[in-house]
Amino acid sequence: MEGANLQPSRSEWLWGLADRQHGVVARRQLLGLGLTEKAIQHRIAKGRLHPILRGVYAVGRPNLTRHGHWAAALLSCGAEAVLSHESAAALWGMRPAAGNDVHVSVPNRVARHRPGVVVHRRSAFARHELTRCQGIAVTNPICTLVDLATRVDRSQLEAAVNEADKHDLTDPQQLRSALDELPRRPGIRALCELLDRRTFKLTDSELERRFLPLVRKAGLSAPETACYVSGFKVDFHWPDLGLVVETDGLRYHRTPGQQTRDRVRDQAHTAAGLTPLRFTHAQVRFEPRHVQATLSAVALRLRATQRLARRGSEAR
């Protein structure tokens, strides 16, 4: 009898379940815990359960996080529902969540209509195309990008691929290879075209058009472009600051040999007393504020170092 007190109570089971599901539970789960319909209604009346969607309740308080709304939509759409499209992209951190609608994919045979839930029906998912992220059933990063390609324009899709790369969810080479293995479905062609055209690799003219305004905003003078420094052709050079900026194309399209050459270049610049700085083309295009802030901070440091050197020289 002494051990009986160690058994979790029904309320403890309920709170534990809600905690794992971002604050929400389904009616079918409550019934599975042994609650009756009358007990569920009693908890609703007492403010312990708050209806969110059909058959889904928030536990304790009605305010949910975005993850809670995603979890509620999945519970309302059935056990085979998974987060997909824009909502999956937001969960993976590929793009900001836009609007309040939750995008969910379900098998064709499942009929669901829920307010605030965009239901996508498809014939089947392969097991490896589905996973869980932060306790939420979701399409994997590659399938998420394929789905997203049917919903956004090329620029937005590029940005999402860039974020997936940055967060180590998939890289362009892995993504392109995986697309050849997937069964035909909407979105694959658009994604293939984007990757095959190497859209992340800016032309020299487009790179200058995007980079030089950031230089001005950072308070730097116009650099020398496409010139030779330390025996290497560099993208941008400020002789007065001793600053060299190189830019790279696709992060994972650089072979080990190319990466080794990059290090040798940077080492040669450093040995010559210069400050080498690298940005990817994707950073110039999609993270201009970061590029501008970095340029500004490095220029400020170099100018301060030069002033100290001049003062030391004058003192001698």
Q: Where are the domains of the chain?
A: 9-64, 77-199, 204-308
* 17-26, 149-158, 305-314, range with the lowest pLDDT: 305-314
Query: pLDDT band at residue 250, thresholds of 50, 70 and 90?
Result: low
Query: pLDDT band at residue 70, thresholds of 50, 70 and 90?
Result: very high
Query: pLDDT band at residue 136, thresholds of 50, 70 and 90?
Result: very high
The superfamily in CATH containing domain 204-308 is VSR Endonuclease (3.40.960.10)
Q: What CATH number is given for 9-64 in this structure?
A: 1.10.10
The residue behind tokens 């110039």 is 284
Question: Could you check whether 9-64 and 204-308 share the same CATH topology?
Answer: no
Distance CA 314, CA 46 (A): 80
Q: What is the C-alpha R_g of the chain?
A: 27
Is the pLDDT reported for residue 251 higher than 70? no
pLDDT tens-place string over residues 202-245: 667 888 888 999 999 999 999 999 899 999 999 999 999 999 99
Q: In what order do the strands lie in the sheet with 82-83?
A: 117-122, 102-107, 82-83, 136-139, 130-133
Query: pLDDT band at residue 15, thresholds of 50, 70 and 90?
Result: confident
Distance CA 28, CA 76 (A): 10
Give kind and range of the element (H or E) at residue 143.
helix 141-148
Q: What percent of the chain has pLDDT over 90?
A: 47
Distance CA 40, CA 151 (A): 39
* 84-93, 205-214, 249-258, 267-276, range with the lowest pLDDT: 249-258
SS3 105: strand
Specify the pTM.
0.63
